[in-house]
Amino acid sequence: MGNGQAAGRVAIVTGGGTGVGRAAAQALLGGGWRVVVAGRRPEPLQEVAKGAPDRALAVPTDITDADSVRALFDAAVKAFGRVDLLFNNAGTGLPAHPLEDMAVADWKRVVDTNLNGVFYGIQNAFRVMKAQDPMGGRIINNGSISAHAPRPHSIAYTATKHAVTGLTKTASLDGRRYNIAVGQIDIGNAHTDMAARMAKGVPQANGEIAVEPLMDVGIVGQSVLYMASLPLEANILFHTVMATKMPFVGRG
């Protein structure tokens, strides 16, 4: 979709101040979208938004708080009139740790962000998208390679990312009547602060430590832009973008 076709279309990107969210927000802005950038810390959001001040809005948001997520969508509608896309990206993990030693508070924090927060986004996107004219829109959930296969000592992150797949499938089904397309992007080893440790060596399933290849996070931003650019009659239900040589589809 060229800039002319995207002109006037409105996206919300959660976790938009850093990493994958930042790359996606910048790609969408580069594609002519108006973008509401959400996240916990105002400074990184404002840094992204100042790249296109007439088309970008920074809205500090706590996605674990349902009222805060509702306020985010209300701010988007107030500023731009509608919401055509939600990139439900914000997420968190924990340092690798044996599951039997995990603090309950840490488990709940990951569930609150990666599962509950994604649900609040979907719920509010449905609320807005089914009521606007023309009706409908698109939701892209950030799954992860961990929505398919775990890393060692990652039970909270892996369980919640598997749960995101359930949210995607159900929302895709329930969105049909409202012309809401719901899909998922599963990302493997994009070069972000969160994944930088891969270059130093990370635990493998066989107990070894191995350096893993990384890909430019800008590639993920372009993937999100492509998924977002489809007409609503078409949907990419699952899109996996990964470093070509990462150890995912083998034994080890």
Rounded CA gap, 188 and 238, in Å? 13
Spatial CA neighbour of 97 closest among 203, 209, 196, 201: 203
- Phi and psi angles of residue 147, each rounded to the nearest 5 degrees, phi first: -75, -10
Query: Which token pair is 230?
Result: 């489809």
Residue with the larger pLDDT of the pair 207 and 14: 14
In a domain, 251, yes or no: no
In a domain, 248, yes or no: no
Rounded CA gap, 10 and 164, in Å? 23
Give the confidence band of 250 by pLDDT, cuts at 50, 70, 90: confident
Instruction: Give yes or no for a contact between 29 and 56, defined as CB atoms under 8 angstroms apart.
Output: yes
In a domain, 247, yes or no: no
In a domain, 142, yes or no: yes
Counting the structural domains of the chain, the total is: 1
Rounded CA gap, 162 and 206, in Å? 22
Give the confidence band of 251 by pLDDT, cuts at 50, 70, 90: low
Helix (H, G, I), strand (E, B) or coil at 139: strand
Specify the CATH number for the domain of residue 63: 3.40.50.720
Rounded CA gap, 10 and 80, in Å? 7
| Options 120, 157, 178, 226, the catalytic residue | 157
157 is catalytic: yes
pTM over 0.85: yes
Which three-class secondary structure string do you get for 22-84?
HHHHHHHHHCCCEEEEEECCHHHHHHHHCCCCCCEEEEECCCCCHHHHHHHHHHHHHHHCCCC
Q: What is the pLDDT of residues 44-96, one digit of tens each?
A: 999 999 989 999 999 999 999 999 999 999 999 999 999 999 999 999 999 98
pLDDT of 20 above 80? yes
pLDDT of 1 above 50? no
- Print the domain residue range for 131: 3-242
